[in-house]
Structure 1
Amino acid sequence: MTRLRARLSTAHQPFDGWLLLSALTLMLLGWVMVTSASTEVASGLTGNPFYFSIRHGLFVVLAIAAGYAVLWVPIGWWRVNGLLLLGVAVFLLLLVLVAGREVNGSTRWLSIPGVPINLQPSEIAKLCLIAYMAGYLERYLPRVRKTWGAFLRPLVVTGVLSLLLILEPDYGSVVVMTGCVMGMLLMAGAPMWRFLLLMVLLAALGTLLAIAEPYRMARLTSFSDPWADQFASGYQLTQALIAYGRGHWFGLGLGNSVQKLFYLPEAHTDFVFAVIAEELGLVGAMVVVGLFALLVTRALAVGRRAELAKLPFAAYLSYGIALIIGAQAFINVAVSTGMLPTKGLTLPLLSYGGSSLVVSAVMVALLLRVDIETRQAQRRARPTAPRASSAQGAAAKASPTKTPTRSQGERA
């Protein structure tokens, strides 16, 4: 009875409030921390200490507006246009190789004429790939579980996108997208032994790619002992570790970071978590980790509710978004703490960057849309049984049955 009451109470809610709360909190906290981490850099580059803060504030407004617009788009539209979205992803990744803007040796951005905003196609490609994969799993789920061909086709598609990303190069997005697709296949019920075999093959391929270029090998070895070459390949990581050490339990206070004063490169983008740890301490850093954990667990819960409501596309779309956000957040934190080699990945909803922020907000809006449609479907299905019982009760009242009376002989 208690479980039934809990289910009925949650069914009347329009959407998951904890999901929205965690996302908005991360966005607002990100704006504050980007402002704190970028003032000195912005003052040195532009003369305006709030240059990056103003731009990030505009990105936050744009992200909320984009998320609100996507909230009104039915999930069926994404389901029907999955292949079209995949084509858009391939086109943008090809376009950035031809007409992209190079920054720090990587060609990852497209300049929009007349607008001082750079578009990062890899962020859009992540969302498009998730939508395509959710539709593919809905159509071919039994085959994915039984045959190698259906299992490998989405991996081939991911391989094409990964090849285009490697040419930029953007290895961090390759890792995130490949992990997301394999995670979606695993949650779809594909046999575990296939993943073990693929992991061995991918490890061998990654080793070959690392050996092929000296700078890749330097990145892989520097994170294990960054102090061995702290002024070259290990410089960024050592400065981040110093920020962690200075933060202690409760931090130096908001705005009091020392590492952001031209010591830690990319302090407001890829390494903003190190500034959070320095200014807010271990407690503040764990709050951020907890917010991401809450967001990912609520996204998985949304997908599970959709799966139980017989909405497979919505379920796998939610699972894919949860995997993308969770994997990217984990890799960003792991890189800044020295657990993984350096990757150019932003912290979703928190780091500076318009493309990442807008796409992350759109993903959260899709989760809310899935939750809304799932709850509506559950409300439509649930009243059928009570109506039937009430109708039977009304019929019983209208035509009451008389208890048969016994004759005198039977009473005797």
Structure 2
Amino acid sequence: MSESNLQFDRSLLFAAGALLFIGLIMVCSASITIADSKTGQPLFYFARQLVFAIVGLCFAWAVMSVRLAVWQRIAPQLLMAGVVLLVLVLVPGIGREVNGSKRWLPLGPVNLQVAEVIKLFAILYIADYLQRHHGQLHRSFMKVLAPLMLLGVAALLLLLQPDMGSIVVIMSTVLAMLFLGGARLDVFAALIAVMGGLFTLLVWVAPYRLERLQSFMDPWADPFGSGFQLTQALIAFGRGDWLGVGLGSSMQKLFYLPEAHTDFLYSILAEELGLIGAVAVIALFFVFIWRALAIGRAAEMSGQVFGAQIAYGIGIWLGLQACVNIGVNMGALPTKGLTLPLMSYGGSSLVIVCVAIALLFRVDMETRMPEKASARIRR
């Protein structure tokens, strides 16, 4: 095999590229009506998403030229910087509030959703921690608990926004990484039980979370109130049938389904492209997750613990977030404000996911060509 063929994992590149391309098309289709209503420019959201995609690809190319050793060296500082950003979001006059949630930092013409940044920084930090304490986690409970205590500060700040969905994704990903890094099964099970208890408590103490859970259990009990979003999403799936109503022909995006181009983009895709299109997207995510985990396994076998944990973490994070988003759209999970990676409208999410995928490619490159680990990518 030639050296040029070793540069990129073709299956991963195809899956990521296809998801990004389909996402751009669906954002264009799902947002035309609302964009025309709000801005008078039918392609307003599509144009912004296209710009974010280009920016994300530029960042990705830059990230691929940086050695993993550099990311490992600065991983703790990146997490600290992320925590500072989470604090700034909560400062009156700095953070921006939308729909009752304060999750964004205004940066000129764009808004940075810090939770997306924290997801990647947490993975880098845990990967570095597992590299430094390799082989020690199975002997000490405190070695497992220590990074969770630090990430608990970030989780508390996310809870104040509030952003329960991001907390679930981050903590689930971190627990999985710790388990893959050597944490004992009994310790892992105990942590899962504790986390489950805490999440249950958070649901019970917040009336809106409990109401959201109740509407999920029976959305048709109040189809024009708390269950409106979910019932409209299910109607979109029903209209899609096998082959869909045709690209651009969705009825639900005509102000029936809220957040049609963001959190509920998958419902519009199912309506317009049918079961075939919906299953194709799931298949692409399956290929993406499979290649990410395979890259992680190859790195682990070659002794690159940091690179392996990055690949595992990114695969678990994006796979879990995709499962949650798709599950919410299908009525299988309670509503969460999580985007569909590479597809939903949102600049912060798209750029960060592009950077994460670039790190996957970098892990793959350094695993296959360790002698090139310190060299820049050749054109």
Structure 1 position 153 matched with structure 2 position 119: no
Cα pair 1:241 1:336 within 8 Å, conserved: yes
AA matched with 1:367:
L
- Contact kept in structure 2, 1:309 and 1:377, CA below 8 Å: no
Once the two structures are superposed, residues 203-258 of structure 1 have per-residue CA deviations (whole angstroms, 9 ceiling, x without a partner) of: 22222211112111001111111000111111100000000000001100100000
**Unaligned segments of structure 1, at least 5 residues:** 1-7, 381-412
Structure 1 segments (4+ residues) deviating >4 Å = 8-12
Q: Which runs of 5+ in 2 are unaligned?
A: 374-379
Paired letter, 1:201: V
| Equivalent position SS for 2:135 | helix
Is residue 236–residue 270 contact of structure 2 (8 Å, CA) maintained in 1? yes
Aligned partner of 1:345 in structure 2 is: 338
Q: What residue is the counterpart of 1:102 in the other structure?
A: 97
Determine helix, strand or coil for the equivalent of 1:143. coil
Q: 2:315 aligns with which of 285, 307, 322?
A: 322
Deviations 1:55-84 (A, max 9, x none): 111111111111111111111110111111
Q: Which residue of 176, 180, 186 corresponds with 1:193?
A: 186
Residue aligned with 1:252, SS: coil
Look up the match of 2:377.
Answer: none
Distance 1:173 1:337 in 2: 19
Larger of the two Rg values belongs to structure? 1
Report the equivalent of 1:168.
161
CA drift of 1:339 comes to: 1.1
Match for residue 226 of structure 1 among 206, 219, 234 = 219
Aligned to 1:375: 368
Query: How much has 1:200 moved relative to structure 2?
Result: 2.1
Matches for 1:178-189 after TM superposition, within 5 Å: 178-189=171-182
1:111-130 → structure 2 map (5 Å cutoff): 111-112=106-107, 115-130=108-123
Return the alpha-carbon distance in structure 1 between the equivalents of residues 189 and 365 of structure 2. 37
CA distance in 1 between counterparts of 2:180 and 2:226 reads 38
When normalised by structure 2's length, the TM-score is: 0.95
Distance 2:3 2:218 in 1: 50
2:44 maps to 1:51? yes
TM (normalized to structure 1)?
Answer: 0.88
Q: How well do the aligned residues superpose, as a CA RMSD in angstroms?
A: 1.5
Partner of 1:139: 132
Residue correspondence of structure 1 range 262-301 to structure 2 within 5 A = 262-301=255-294
Whole-Å separation in 1 of the counterparts to 2:372 and 2:21:
33
The equivalent of 1:404 in structure 2 is none
Query: How far off its partner does 1:9 sit?
Result: 7.7
Alpha-carbon spacing, 1:280–1:148, altered in 2? closer, same or farther (3 Å): same
Distance 1:195 1:185 in 2: 8
Equivalent position SS for 1:118: strand
Contact 1:303–1:319 under 8 Å retained in 2:
yes
In 2, Cα distance between the equivalents of 1:119 and 1:14? Answer: 31
Among residues 198, 202, 205, which one is paired with 1:209 in the alignment? 202
- Name the amino acid aligned to 2:28: T
SS at match of 1:146: coil
Asked if structure 1 preserves the Cα contact closer than 8 Å seen for 2:234 and 2:329, the reply is yes
- 2:16 aligned residue: 23
Give the partner amino acid of 2:222. Answer: D
Output the CA distance in 2 between the equivalents of 1:200 and 1:311: 31
Amino acid at match of 1:226: P
Find the counterpart in structure 1 of residue 376 from structure 2: none
8 Å Cα contact 2:366/2:372 also seen in 1: no
Aligned length: 371
Task: Tell me whether 135-144 or 12-21 shows the greater mean CA deviation.
Answer: 12-21
- Alpha-carbon distance in structure 1 between the residues aligned to 2:149 and 2:365: 33
> How many angstroms apart in 2 are the aligned matches of 1:202 and 1:365?
31
Aligned partners of 2:150 and 2:332: how far apart in 1?
29
- Relative to structure 1, the CA distance from residue 80 to residue 41 in structure 2 (aligned partners, 3 Å threshold; closer, same or farther) is same
1:142 to partner: Cα distance: 2.2
Distance 1:355 1:379 in 2: 31
Q: 1:168 aligns to what SS in structure 2? A: coil
The separation in 2 between residues aligned to 1:200 and 1:325, in whole angstroms, is 23
What is the CA distance between 1:310 and its match in structure 2?
Answer: 1.0
Are the equivalent residues in 2 in contact too, given 1:11–1:379 (CA < 8 A)? Answer: no
**SS in structure 2 at match of 1:144:** coil
| Matching residue's letter, 2:31 | S
| 1:328–1:10 Cα change, 3 Å | farther
CA distance in 2, matches of 1:278, 1:309: 45
One-letter amino acid matched to 1:57: L
Answer whether contact 1:219 1:341 (CA < 8 A) is retained.
Answer: yes
The secondary structure found in structure 1 opposite 2:105 is strand
CA contact (8 A) 1:11 1:378 kept: no
